[in-house]
Structures are given as structure tokens and as C-alpha cells.
Amino acid sequence: MNKTKERTLIILKPDAVHRGIVGEVLDRFEQKGIRPVGMKMIKMSDLLLDKHYVQHKGKHFLPHLKKFMKSLPVVLIVLEGLDVIRVVRTMCGSTDGKNAPPGTIRGDYSMSTSATIIHSSEDQKAAKREIGIFFKKNELFSYTRPDIHFYYAEDEV
């Protein structure tokens, strides 16, 4: 396990906002011992979406995805914890909600490959790039939960 604190970005997509499950999804991460260190709600623009989805430029699904992501506000959250990128992606489940295991966010809330409730950064490089798109340094905070020893072994924190 990576014993260094990592940060990752999650985006609670328009379907999560529309369905009123933002708090439920965030609660799953907090119950796991993962800390939110930055959070905001925004309306996505073409410029932000082009920066965020640069790796999908020219792909057939991008216009539909951009339209969906602009349909309602999204909630952007930076999460922090040990090995948090891998843990968060596991908790999200596979992209196709029909194939995501029960107990994962997509397995419990999604039946789609486009309305997937949540985005999470795929690796450290992506996390750093994505966080930089949406957050200024002064919008991110560090703190220690007083109950952290209930989530990690003593030698891990």
C-alpha cells in the first residue's frame, strides 16, 4: 500500500445532483475514512469540459457527454487519504453501471454507461491535472480527523 497521502478528484455528475444522492455518495467516502479537503458546486462550461476531457477529443461520445455534463450543476470534491486513488476507483465500480458490482457506487445507483453518477481520477498524474483545472491552492485544506486511528493501522498514519 502507498503510505503517502494522495489526493484525487471526484465529480458528482448531474444525475447524482438530480437524484438527490450527493450526500449519500460523499458519506460513503467519509465512512471509509477518506477526507474531503476541497468541495464546490459549479455549472460546467465547454471550456472546462474541453480541458477535463482532453483525452477524449474527437471521440464520437464526447458531444453527448458534454451535453449531459452541462445539463445541471456538478459537485467537485477533492478527497485525501492513503492510496486514495485506487480505493476511490474501487468504490466507484466499473463504468457500466449494469456490470458494476453491488456495493459500489455505480453498482448501487447506475444502469448506464453515460449516467454513471461519479467521475474519479484514474491515476496520480490525472488527479493532479484534474484538481488543477477546478481548484486553486487556497481552496484546498489539510486537517487530521481525530478518529483516524480507527481507519488505518498506527504505522500507516
CA–CA separation, 128 vs 80, rounded Å? 12
119 belongs to the catalytic site: yes
Collapsed DSSP state (helix, strand, coil) of residue 8: strand
Asked if 80 contacts 5 with a C-beta cutoff of 8 angstroms, the reply is yes
Q: Are residues 105 and 28 in contact, defined by beta-carbon separation less than 8 angstroms?
A: yes
Q: Which of 60, 64, 119, 149 is catalytic?
A: 119
CA dist., res. 71 & res. 17, Å (int): 10
The residues carrying an active-site annotation are 119
